[in-house]
Structure 1
């Protein structure tokens, strides 16, 4: 169970780190599957010729097991609300990052979108609104040990509050992924945190948290998945009949700052 201090950190900073969310042995099984998918040799760095390889969603048993441990389900209940979220049936896409001097070309600050726009096949046109329609959490699953040199995701601490303020005037339609990304450039600088930790670590993040990739300057590939926590019931930030969940309370506080 998350402590009251961890819940308050989530509301204030926009994320909380869960250690030992799933086992290191399970992470190893998943890495083995992904190495086969990439058709690369984990013992021959000379075969790692690209800075990043993106793999699609995976729903085999080890992936679902990692995403649905009791500790994670308890945390989902605490942050989003019991009965408001859907169990993960896959773990999203894998941007697997390799040591490389080349620019990966995808290191801009952004917020992940939650629902389709006019062109559902174009993710850049997907949208985000002030209620975070379609998405309860952004999650970062570490399937390998990630140190500061291993391309850890950069997190802009507390940025979810300013993103809520950007989204409010856009109403129910919200902003597209690209529209919001452009506006992030106008926000004041905030402290950065790095999503580091041993395999089995999970960062549970507010869906409005700005984050960014970075080049890999270490020696071992970084295996990470970033699935959304999908919603069974839409979030509410006004006229709630019960207490607000932390993910909702964070938005409410931001809009009254």
Structure 2
């Protein structure tokens, strides 16, 4: 199968995405693009890649980057095909760049951002990020994505994910309707509702991308390795709203996962 022209994901991949809330896409973008992007990111950190003494903070958050390597990484044929498969053809917006980069450095210090959470999808105009919101149709967010721009092993601060936790969040959000819940409300119990879920680590070589359901519970952690970790975590934005009541029953895997979480199985799986 040609991943550039045909389906990027197989039936088993899509089934796993619906069941566990994420899928790993290997060689989603070339390692040469990752290397070019790292050069830009190193310059933005103000640190010297050859001098660990300059790595004085456990994490440096960098803003939006839209230079060629980032645009190219976000728009490979493999990823565009995968977006069509998970969100629906014509239902998502291409990215012009990538969002925040939390660059993590080897450190024994607490990075201060290692709590379990989901990425909220609307209400970002509120200066208090704990008041940002999510609702059952994941307004303004079709996917959470983890782009690995450096090799990430188990000691290199890989993002922790709770497999299947999107099910718990969907059930928590459903009674709140269109208004949804704030991060403060969702985090009131420390995301204990998904604590029983199996934990997995988002590891892989540079060029790996994890495509995650927007309700997937995840967390950062300390960097216990030797080389800084470069990762982007942008959303895939919807071109049209996620819909849980499609007359034609052409539901995307993102939508099917929500419906099955609520024990409302669609008539057809798209």
Same fold (TM over 0.5): yes
Q: For residue 229 of structure 1, what is the aligned residue in structure 2? A: 236
- CA–CA separation in structure 2 for the residues paired with 1:243 and 1:223: 37
Structure 2 unaligned spans of 5+: 1-7, 265-270
Q: For residue 5 of structure 2, what is the aligned residue in structure 1? A: none
Aligned pairs, how many?
256
Tell me which of 148, 164, 167 is aligned to 1:158. Answer: 164
Q: TM-score, normalised by structure 2?
A: 0.92
- 1:218 pairs with 2:242: no
CA shift, 1:121, in A, is 3.4
What stretches of structure 1 move > 4 A for 4+ residues in a row? Answer: none
Q: For residue 26 of structure 1, what is the aligned residue in structure 2? A: 33
Tell me which of 144, 149, 155 is aligned to 1:143. Answer: 149
CA shift, 1:145, in A, is 0.1
- CA–CA separation in structure 2 for the residues paired with 1:69 and 1:82: 15
- CA–CA separation in structure 1 for the residues paired with 2:247 and 2:210: 27
Q: Residues 235 and 183 from structure 1, CA distance in 2 versus in 1: closer, same or farther, beyond 3 angstroms? A: farther
- CA–CA separation in structure 2 for the residues paired with 1:240 and 1:202: 33
User: Following superposition of structure 1 onto structure 2, how do residues 83-122 of structure 1 map, counting pairs within 5 Å?
Assistant: 83-116=90-123, 119-122=125-128
Q: Which moved more, 1:239-248 or 1:48-57?
A: 239-248
- CA–CA separation in structure 2 for the residues paired with 1:224 and 1:181: 24
Q: Which moved more, 1:33-42 or 1:177-186?
A: 177-186
Tell me which of 62, 66, 84 is aligned to 1:77. Answer: 84
CA shift, 1:239, in A, is 3.7
Deviations 1:14-38 (A, max 9, x none): 0000000001110000010011111
Q: For residue 14 of structure 2, what is the aligned residue in structure 1? A: 7
CA shift, 1:183, in A, is 4.0
Contact 1:111 1:181 in 2 (8 A): no
CA shift, 1:122, in A, is 3.2
Q: TM-score, normalised by structure 1?
A: 0.97
CA shift, 1:116, in A, is 1.1
Contact 2:117 2:191 in 1 (8 A): no
Contact 2:25 2:209 in 1 (8 A): yes
- CA–CA separation in structure 2 for the residues paired with 1:89 and 1:126: 24
Q: For residue 35 of structure 1, what is the aligned residue in structure 2? A: 42
Q: For residue 137 of structure 2, what is the aligned residue in structure 1? A: 131
Q: For residue 69 of structure 2, what is the aligned residue in structure 1? A: 62
Structure 1 unaligned spans of 5+: none
Classify the secondary structure of the residue corresponding to 2:103.
strand
Classify the secondary structure of the residue corresponding to 2:94.
coil
CA shift, 1:184, in A, is 4.8
- CA–CA separation in structure 2 for the residues paired with 1:184 and 1:132: 20
